[in-house]
Amino acid sequence: MLKITNLHVTVADTPILKGLTLAINAGEVHAIMGPNGSGKSTLAAVLAGRAGYEVTAGGIEYLGRDLLALTVEERARAGVFLAFQYPVEIPGVSNMEFLRASLEAVRSHRGEPNLSAVEFMKLARATSQQLQLDPEFLKRGVNEGFSGGEKKRNEILQMLLLQPRLAVLDETDSGLDIDALQVVADGVNALRSPERAIVMVTHYQRLLDHVVPDYVHVLADGRILRSGGRELALELEAKGYGWLRNDAA
């Protein structure tokens, strides 16, 4: 589904990713771990097409297409979803309005009919309940005055509504208490399916207790330093990142 080959990315002329190669198939859940500044969030941003990230070499193929040639919204409509680490506030635009516009854009691209207002409301309500969010929350401005946990749950709400093919979760677990973490994890698990792939970018392994990955990759200094199964995360937890770096040296 996703093939990243020898990816080099610079931000303001500083190289961040330095030859990252990674393949992800439909149905798989990958965890990308690594110390601060290793390039994890850069990878997430490049996949979604954020401005300011320059790909200087290498490429990304997504469902057989050149992902980098697509605009931000084309990627989104093609099923790439980024759950933001720091979701931005959009004052005055209600969550409901935003979700509906987004869902319509994605569905119409897929050739699916628009939901009626009633169908949409039902879906939005049910999904917010699933995430233990008060339906009143749908009427509030997008992320406006939300707590950190609410913002993160709002990202998962959007993900569940849009049903992406490739979901990239950027530090979605940071700032969540244990109950909220469980709720978010249940949301992510609900999305697991043979057609979809999920990439979790995280600093800690605790999310992985709840969403068990098929593969774990350690990113350091802009490259995948090591890949393995679930046990790699546990090993990291026990020994820290220093161990790996020394090991590699």
Partner 1 sequence: MSKNLGQLDGMVHGAYKAGWTTDIESDTLPPGLNEDTVRFISARKQEPDWLLQWRLKAFRHWQTMAHPQWAHVHYPPIDYQSISYYSAPRRPGEGPQSLDEVDPELLRTYEKLGIPLHERAALAGVAVDAVFDSVSVVTTFKDKLAEAGVIFCPISEAVREHPELIRKYLGSVVPFRDNFFAGLNSAVFSDGSFVYVPRGVRCPMELSTYFRINARNTGQFERTLIVADEGSHVSYLEGCTAPQRDENQLHAAVVELIALKGAEIKYSTVQNWYPGDAEGRGGIYNFVTKRGIAHENAKISWTQVETGSAITWKYPSVILQGDNAVGEFYSVALTRGMQQADTGTKMVHVGRNTRSTIVAKGISAMRAENSYRGLVHIGAGAENARNHTQCDSLLLGDRCGAHTFPYIESRNPSATVEHEATTSKVSDDQLFLCRQRGLDPEKAVSMIVNGFCKQVFRELPMEFAVEAGKLLEVSLEGAIG
Q: Which residue has the tokens 């990674």?
A: 22
* 75 alpha-carbon distance from chain centroid: 13
Among 220, 199, 212, 176, which Cα is nearest to 234's? 212
Q: Please tell me whether residue 72 binds partner 1 under the rule CB under 8 A.
A: yes
Cα 9 from Cα 23, distance rounded (Å) = 17
- What would the two tokens of residue 22 be? 């990674």
3-state class (DSSP) for residue 173: coil
Q: Please tell me whether residue 165 binds partner 1 under the rule CB under 8 A.
A: no
- Are the C-beta atoms of 29 and 190 separated by less than 8 Å? no
Cα 42 from Cα 82, distance rounded (Å) = 12
Strand partners, 18: 8
Q: Please tell me whether residue 84 binds partner 1 under the rule CB under 8 A.
A: yes
CB of 236 to partner 1, least distance (A): 29
Q: Please tell me whether residue 198 binds partner 1 under the rule CB under 8 A.
A: no
Q: Please tell me whether residue 87 binds partner 1 under the rule CB under 8 A.
A: yes
Which CB, 198 or 236, lies closer to partner 1?
198
Which of 93, 121, 123, 234 contacts partner 1 by CB under 8 A?
Answer: 93
Q: Please tell me whether residue 73 binds partner 1 under the rule CB under 8 A.
A: yes
CB of 40 to partner 1, least distance (A): 17
CA distances 47 to 14, 72, 85, 88, 102, Å, are 18, 9, 14, 18, 19
Which of 92, 111, 113, 145 contacts partner 1 by CB under 8 A?
Answer: 92
Q: Please tell me whether residue 117 binds partner 1 under the rule CB under 8 A.
A: no
Give the pairing of strands 29-33 and 197-202: parallel
Which of 33, 82, 138, 232 contacts partner 1 by CB under 8 A?
Answer: 82
Task: Name 171's Cβ contacts closer than 8 Å, sequence gap at least 6.
Answer: 40, 41, 85, 201, 202, 203
- Are the C-beta atoms of 21 and 7 separated by less than 8 Å? yes
CB of 101 to partner 1, least distance (A): 6
Which of 3, 8, 18, 109 contacts partner 1 by CB under 8 A?
Answer: 109
CB of 78 to partner 1, least distance (A): 9
Terminal CA-CA length for the chain: 32
CB of 132 to partner 1, least distance (A): 22
Which CB, 92 or 194, lies closer to partner 1?
92
Which of 15, 35, 59, 141 contacts partner 1 by CB under 8 A?
Answer: 141
Report the interface residues with partner 1, using CB under 8 A: 48-52, 71-73, 75-77, 81-82, 84, 87-88, 90-94, 97-98, 101-102, 105-106, 109, 141-142, 158, 162
